[in-house]
């Protein structure tokens, strides 16, 4: 029977993306999907850079999981998993196809299919799908369920709600106390226009100093959730489902992707330096300073430019900068997930058109 293997991502931000794609593709094809988690040895560089196939970078126990019958498709992301997936393809005598999600590190011709996003600057090739945003498992059913779950707990706050999704430091951009205070003031102003309140969620990358500064400067009623790992009481999806407008810090492409999937107005918060003009209240971080130098003078493969994603969203009317007025509201006609699934089906010789599988639709009141 045809089968899919998911070599799971080792970073949390990528794990949700690759699992969402594997689940959507397995459902579209009606094939079983086996999830495999690997343990890694010390970094092994050459197979990654040269597009080689090798399992030297994983433990013997992990390697023991990789045995025939080989799958028809292997899906993964992350540089450590690249040589492993090429090794699986080689052991299958080329029958297994290799789909890589996100940033590709090896030569593009070492992948059967790459599904990526603009910040990685991957050139157009027959085996490359350049989506507008990252993939996720958000859909209408999940939003409706989250709305039912969280509506009673948030009922005491004045409506309409404005959801604020907060990320953290990313590449050359820093989300520190200065940016947090500015976000608190601008998000408060947006909620005040309609007499509403803020539903705020931080993330794993939000520093305590930034979260404290945000809470201290909010000027309207609000509910703030501070992220905790593996917390079943995380109201993030409920906040997306119940809010009428969404504000997302510009560092997080994953949170922007989920916000745009709701079909509601989305505002991007500039941490400082994301637009041409420099913010006067910009935070400084040595890591951000050196990353900016790398982007300007270094090898592009070593950095990413999230401004390219912002540009796509602004041009398509799916988002606007916070403080610059309402967006046009024009949605992308075909979802990124649908595009990725269709490309994968074509790779496998299963070219029947897939339905648009990721359009949550109208907002929940």
Shared domain check, 196 and 119 = no
Total domain count, the chain: 2
Shared domain check, 182 and 317 = yes
pLDDT of residue 292: 82
Report the pLDDT averaged over residues 130-145. Answer: 92
Higher pLDDT, 54 or 33: 33
Residue 30: inside a domain? yes
Percent of the chain scoring above 70 in pLDDT? 89
Residue 360: inside a domain? no
Tell me the pLDDT band of 363, cut-offs 50, 70 and 90: very low
d(CA 41, CA 236): 35
Shared domain check, 299 and 177 = yes
Q: What is the pLDDT of residues 103-136, one digit of tens each?
A: 999 999 999 999 999 999 999 999 999 999 999 9
Residue 364: inside a domain? no
d(CA 180, CA 74): 41
Residue 357: inside a domain? no
Shared domain check, 198 and 90 = no
Q: What is the pLDDT of residues 231-285, one digit of tens each?
A: 999 999 999 999 999 999 999 999 999 999 999 999 999 999 898 655 556 888 8
pLDDT of residue 48: 63
Shared domain check, 148 and 97 = no
193: containing domain: 140-321
Polymer length of the chain: 365
pLDDT of residue 275: 85
Residue 326: inside a domain? no
pLDDT of residue 358: 54
pLDDT of residue 333: 52
pLDDT of residue 193: 95
On the question of pLDDT at 25 being above 90, the answer is yes
Shared domain check, 305 and 166 = yes
Least confident segment among 219-223, 325-329, 359-363: 359-363
Q: What is the pLDDT of residues 288-309, one digit of tens each?
A: 888 888 888 777 766 789 999 9
Higher pLDDT, 41 or 161: 161
Query: Which CATH number goes with the domain that contains 231?
Result: 3.40.50
d(CA 103, CA 49): 13
Shared domain check, 120 and 19 = yes
CA–CA distances in Å: residue 290 to residues 176, 293, 312: 17, 5, 26
Average pLDDT, the chain: 89
Kindly report the CA angle at 20 between 356 and 68, in degrees rounded to 5? 115
Shared domain check, 118 and 18 = yes
d(CA 331, CA 158): 29
pLDDT of residue 271: 94
- Report the predicted TM-score, pTM, of the whole model to 2 decimal places: 0.86
Report the pLDDT averaged over residues 48-53. Answer: 71
pLDDT of residue 104: 93
Query: Which CATH number goes with the domain that contains 77?
Result: 3.40.50.2300
Shared domain check, 68 and 108 = yes
Residue 365: inside a domain? no
Least confident segment among 153-162, 242-251, 329-338: 329-338
pLDDT of residue 49: 60
pLDDT of residue 326: 67
Shared domain check, 125 and 200 = no
On the question of pLDDT at 64 being above 80, the answer is yes
Least confident segment among 11-15, 46-50, 182-186: 46-50
Shared domain check, 306 and 165 = yes
Q: What are phi and psi of 296, to 5 degrees?
A: -80, -40
Shared domain check, 110 and 233 = no
């Amino acid at each position: 029977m045809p089968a899919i293997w998911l070599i799971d991502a080792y970073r949390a931000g990528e794990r949700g993306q690759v699992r969402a794609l594997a689940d959507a593709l397995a459902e579209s094809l009606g094939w079983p999907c086996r999830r495999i988690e690997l343990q890694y040895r010390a970094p092994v560089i050459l197979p990654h850079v040269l597009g080689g196939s090798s399992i030297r970078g994983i433990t013997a126990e992990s390697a023991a999981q990789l045995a025939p019958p080989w799958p028809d498709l292997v899906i993964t992301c992350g540089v450590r998993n690249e040589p492993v997936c090429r090794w699986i393809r080689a052991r299958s005598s080329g029958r297994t196809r290799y789909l890589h999600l996100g940033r590709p590190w090896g030569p593009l011709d070492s992948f059967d299919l790459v599904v990526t996003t603009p910040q990685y600057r991957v050139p157009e090739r027959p085996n490359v799908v350049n989506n507008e945003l990252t993939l996720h498992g958000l859909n209408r059913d999940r939003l409706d369920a989250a709305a039912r779950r969280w509506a009673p707990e948030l009922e005491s706050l004045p409506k309409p709600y404005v959801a604020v999704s907060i990320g953290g430091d990313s590449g050359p951009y820093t989300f520190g106390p200065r940016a947090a205070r500015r976000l608190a003031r601008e998000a408060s102003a947006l909620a005040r226009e309609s007499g509403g309140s803020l539903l705020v969620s931080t993330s794993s990358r939000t520093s305590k100093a930034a979260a404290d500064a945000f809470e201290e400067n909010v000027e309207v009623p609000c509910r703030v959730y501070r992220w905790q790992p593996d917390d079943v009481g995380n109201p993030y999806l409920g906040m997306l489902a119940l809010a009428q407008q969404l504000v997302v810090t510009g560092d997080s492409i994953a949170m922007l992707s989920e916000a745009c999937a709701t079909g509601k107005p989305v505002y991007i918060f500039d941490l400082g330096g994301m637009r041409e003009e420099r913010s006067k209240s910009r935070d400084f971080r040595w890591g951000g300073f050196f990353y900016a130098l790398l982007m300007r003078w270094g090898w592009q493969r070593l950095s990413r430019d999230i401004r390219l994603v912002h540009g796509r969203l602004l041009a398509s009317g799916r988002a606007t900068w916070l403080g610059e007025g309402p967006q046009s509201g024009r949605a992308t006609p075909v979802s990124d997930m649908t595009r990725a699934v269709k490309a994968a089906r074509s790779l496998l010789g299963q070219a029947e058109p897939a339905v648009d599988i990721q359009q949550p639709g109208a907002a929940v009141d």
